[in-house]
């Protein structure tokens, strides 16, 4: 990238599009973004900045496009607000602005001002009419419709999305009344004797009911269940899905599909044989998603081919109608991938655009295959609903809390189906920080903030709404991405990117609206380099933040637990760090040294981490939580008792800590260099641990009691 400081007019253009031209890094140093990086990011936003003339034309075009639109594409306001909406019309044109409510009602906005500037757009003298929206509009998804005496400059701009959001998300009763304590787990790791090589939704239900019944757990936070590729090779990372709206059928429990019992004897024997073969995968020290899905898909196809009848058939039809075009697009992509392979960028040209007539022809000719993938999503919705019902019935007031990944695979279903709502030529990542000193590139295309607004935020809403269905909450990974995201131009290192800003008022508001409708809590993972106002904005909207013990320091000492945030999910560890026993033995340093991810000598890194652990142990001893010289298990217990001293409303213990696991499930900044997301739940000796063995784990009562500030009866 060009290291020279960007010229002033390029800076002006960048800022008009929300592109940062400078920032402060994790060490407090001011960094100026190169002109080359700024131009690359602007190109991904559809803005030409190739030379001085292009920059001037793009700056002029911003204002012209603004005036050509009668209404802004979207208006997002809070309940009780009386926002002003500016409509652009030819001078002297009469205009009325109606509000079409979600429930079918109609309201009229009050015109409060009319101003006719000396402005010529496409041969017309343009004026601006200002309307005030009523302050008593209900929350929900509404429409604004402008009625003009004469045709608009842009006929497509006379309607707009109006979203009225709650001022604040009220906490679910259990959380509003006090503290909740839960379990966090990576579901694919949790393999029972009946699993097909990977933890599934029956395992999830069993884990939740055990945690609730045996340890009074209030919730179970799991990894993203987003869909991956429909055939091998299946992407192992739950944080790099093909879509975030739909769920991976890898998590289906085949035996829980009612139609299995209706198969003819031959097909039924075949399904049972596939199950027996897949269960052999449970003994492996690596999770083999390809083998598991190959067996499971064949069995599910046998069941699908057996057909539906009666109410089940009607229920499936209703599901397809409700999910509509989004489901059809995803199912079509899945069927196309099975025929033409991946990535879709290598498909025949006419199949690369979901709107092309050739795609419609394919869908007609392969209707059965498309229906198979829709049917899988229907089964997933049913099994997820059953999981939540069983978790709540077992005593969990929140039940399952789902995880929303930052983005999607660059050549996945969303990248095909959502078109230019996702930016091209850039990826999402994170700048260098203390724990990832080279920065991170997550290989995901980001939302284009301008296109989200033009689409009325529908893709974001549909994604959030699906994840919140039948759940007690949602954890938003890297929630600071709703404020600003680190965009990395293709061919550049993570350090050579820059921030792009989003309308966080709109995105947080929509998140709050959909969570309120679902009766769910929203947890924002706000770790890393965080702009100063982000946590204040989250707290104001009723969103729960995130604190990890190892990241909470003040002046080279552990932050006193009393100084943790109240509206927060606080835990000892996270999936991007080794389990506590592994961290205490410097597993993370050993791995990063082996992979060449350290930016300072290993001796210095070890000394720094050993000093941090020593200070934390000393702090625990000072508070009477730990005896001097105690072993690893006692330290792990003390760390959880430390968390009990915080005012945080949500606390959780990692399942990996419950079984004494030491290996990190993920090493950020790596791909195949480390077996990310493929390590099964294991004990201290590295041997895989089954769900049945989890129930007998000695540390389970100890750590749950520690989080409640109690001594275990055991």
Q: Say yes or no to pLDDT of 633 above 50.
A: yes
Q: How buried is 532 (Cβ within 10 angstroms: 0-12 exposed, 13-18 middle, 19+ buried)?
A: exposed
For residue 7, what are its two tokens? 């010229």
Confidence band for 710, pLDDT divided at 50, 70 and 90 = confident
pLDDT tens-digit map of 320-339: 999 999 999 999 999 999 99
E strand map for 338-417: 399-404
Exposure on the CB side of residue 654, measured as CA atoms within 13 A: 30
Mean pLDDT taken over the chain: 94
SS3 302: helix
Phi and psi (nearest 5°) for 500? -120, 130
For tokens 């009612």, the residue is 258
pLDDT at 2: 44
Distance CA 238, CA 228 (A): 8
Answer yes or no: is pLDDT of 115 > 80. Answer: no
What class, spelled out in words, does domain 80-165 have in CATH?
mainly beta
With pLDDT > 70 as the criterion, what percentage of the chain qualifies? 98
* Residue 636 vs residues 171, 584, 620, 663: alpha-carbon distances, Å: 30, 9, 11, 15
DSSP assignment of 203-219 equals: HHHHHHHHHHHHH---E
Q: Given a cut of 80, is residue 712 above it in pLDDT?
A: no
User: Confidence band (pLDDT; 50, 70, 90) for 273?
Assistant: very high
User: What is the C-alpha to C-alpha distance for residues 356 and 336, in angstroms, rounded to an integer?
Assistant: 13
CB 603: neighbour CB atoms within 10 A?
Answer: 8
Q: What is the pLDDT of residues 326-377, one digit of tens each?
A: 999 999 999 999 999 999 999 999 999 999 999 999 999 999 999 999 999 9
Q: How far is CA 357 from the centre of its chain?
A: 32
What HEC string does 54-106 produce?
Answer: HHHHHHHHHHHHHHHCCCCCEEEEECCCCCEEEEEEECCCCEEEEEECCCCCE
Q: Please, where in the chain does CATH 2.60.40.10 lie?
A: 80-165
Which residues lie below 8 Å from residue 625, measured CB to CB, with a gap of 6+?
Answer: 638, 641, 642
Q: What is the pLDDT of residue 127?
A: 87
pLDDT-derived band at 504 (thresholds 50, 70, 90) equals: very high
Of the chain, the percentage scoring pLDDT greater than 90 comes to 86
Q: How confident is the model at residue 1 (pLDDT cuts 50, 70, 90)?
A: very low
SS3 648: coil
Q: What is the pLDDT of residue 116?
A: 67
What's the mean pLDDT in 211-235? 98
Question: Residue 651: which residues within 8 A CB-CB, separation 6 or more?
Answer: 179, 180, 181, 182, 569, 570, 571, 643, 644, 707
Q: Which two tokens stand for residue 631?
A: 């072993």
Predicted pLDDT of residue 153: 86
Residue 104 has pLDDT above 60, yes or no: yes
280-324 confidence digits (pLDDT tens)? 999 999 999 999 999 999 999 999 999 999 999 999 999 999 999
Q: Are 247 and 384 in contact, with CB atoms under 8 Å apart?
A: yes
Judge residue 343's burial from the number of C-beta atoms within 10 Å of its C-beta, 0-12 exposed, 13-18 middle, 19 or more buried.
Answer: middle
């Amino acid at each position: 990238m060009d290291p020279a400081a960007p010229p002033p007019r390029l800076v002006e253009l960048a800022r008009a599009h929300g592109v940062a031209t400078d920032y402060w890094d994790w060490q407090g140093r001011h960094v100026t973004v190169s002109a080359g990086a700024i131009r690359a990011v602007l190109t991904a936003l559809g803005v030409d900045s190739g030379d001085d003339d292009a920059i001037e034309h793009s700056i002029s075009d911003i204002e012209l496009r603004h005036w050509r639109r009668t209404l802004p594409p979207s208006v997002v306001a809070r309940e009780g607000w009386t926002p002003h909406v500016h409509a652009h019309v030819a001078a002297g044109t009469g205009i009325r602005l109606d509000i079409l409510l979600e429930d079918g009602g109609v309201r009229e906005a009050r015109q409060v001002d009319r101003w006719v500037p000396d402005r010529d757009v496409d041969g017309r003298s343009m004026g601006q009419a200002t309307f005030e929206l009523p302050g008593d509009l209900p929350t929900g998804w509404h429409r604004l419709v402008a009625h003009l005496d004469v045709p608009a400059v842009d006929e497509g701009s006379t309607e707009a999305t109006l979203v009225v959001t709650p001022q604040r998300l009220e906490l679910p009763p259990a959380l509003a009344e006090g503290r909740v304590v839960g379990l966090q787990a990576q579901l694919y790791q949790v393999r029972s004797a009946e699993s097909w090589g990977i933890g599934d939704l029956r395992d999830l239900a069993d884990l939740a009911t055990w945690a609730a019944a045996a340890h009074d757990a209030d919730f179970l936070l799991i990894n993203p269940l987003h869909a991956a590729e429909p055939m091998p090779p299946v992407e192992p990372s739950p944080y790099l899905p093909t879509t975030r709206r739909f769920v991976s059928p890898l998590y289906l429990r085949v035996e829980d599909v009612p139609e299995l019992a209706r198969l003819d004897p031959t097909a039924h024997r075949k399904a049972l044989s596939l199950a027996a073969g897949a269960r052999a995968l449970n003994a492996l020290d690596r999770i083999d998603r390809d083998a598991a899905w190959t067996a499971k898909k064949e069995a599910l196809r046998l069941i699908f081919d057996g057909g539906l009848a009666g109410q089940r058939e009607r229920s499936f039809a209703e599901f397809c109608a409700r999910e509509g075009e989004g489901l059809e697009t995803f199912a079509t992509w899945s069927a196309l991938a099975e025929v033409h392979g991946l990535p879709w960028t290598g498909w025949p040209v006419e199949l690369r655009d979901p709107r092309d007539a050739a795609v419609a022809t394919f869908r007609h000719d392969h209707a059965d295959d498309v229906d198979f993938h829709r049917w899988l999503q229907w089964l997933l919705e049913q099994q997820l609903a059953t999981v939540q019902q069983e978790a709540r019935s077992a005593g969990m007031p929140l039940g399952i809390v789902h995880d929303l990944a930052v983005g999607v695979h660059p050549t996945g279903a969303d990248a095909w189906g959502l078109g230019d709502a996702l930016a091209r030529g850039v990826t999402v990542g994170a700048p260098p920080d203390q724990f990832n000193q080279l920065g991170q590139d997550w290989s995901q295309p980001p939302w284009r903030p301008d296109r989200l607004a033009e689409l009325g935020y529908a893709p974001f809403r549909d994604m959030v709404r699906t994840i919140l269905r039948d759940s007690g909450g949602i954890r938003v990974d890297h929630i600071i991405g709703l404020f600003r995201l680190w965009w990395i131009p293709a061919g550049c290192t993570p350090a050579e990117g820059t921030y792009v800003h989003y309308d966080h008022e709109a995105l947080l508001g929509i998140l709050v609206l959909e969570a309120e409708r679902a009766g769910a809590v929203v947890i924002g993972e706000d770790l890393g380099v965080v702009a100063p106002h982000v946590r204040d904005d989250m707290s104001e909207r009723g969103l729960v933040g995130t604190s990890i013990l190892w990241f909470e320091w003040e002046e080279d000492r552990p932050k006193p637990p009393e100084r943790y945030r109240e509206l927060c999910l606080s835990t000892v560890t996270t999936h991007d760090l080794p389990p506590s026993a592994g961290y205490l033995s410097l597993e993370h340093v050993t791995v990063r040294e082996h992979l060449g991810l350290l930016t300072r000598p290993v001796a210095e890194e070890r000394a720094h981490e050993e000093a941090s652990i020593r200070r934390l142990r000393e702090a625990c001893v000072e508070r009477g939580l730990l005896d001097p010289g105690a072993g690893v298990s006692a330290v792990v217990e003390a760390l959880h008792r430390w968390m009990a001293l915080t005012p945080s409303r949500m606390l959780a213990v990692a399942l990996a800590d419950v079984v004494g696991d030491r290996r990190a499930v993920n090493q950020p900044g790596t791909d195949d260099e480390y077996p990310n997301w493929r390590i099964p739940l294991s004990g201290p000796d590295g041997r895989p641990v089954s769900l049945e063995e989890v129930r007998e784990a000695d540390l389970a009562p100890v750590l749950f009691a520690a989080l409640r500030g109690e001594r275990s009866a055991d």
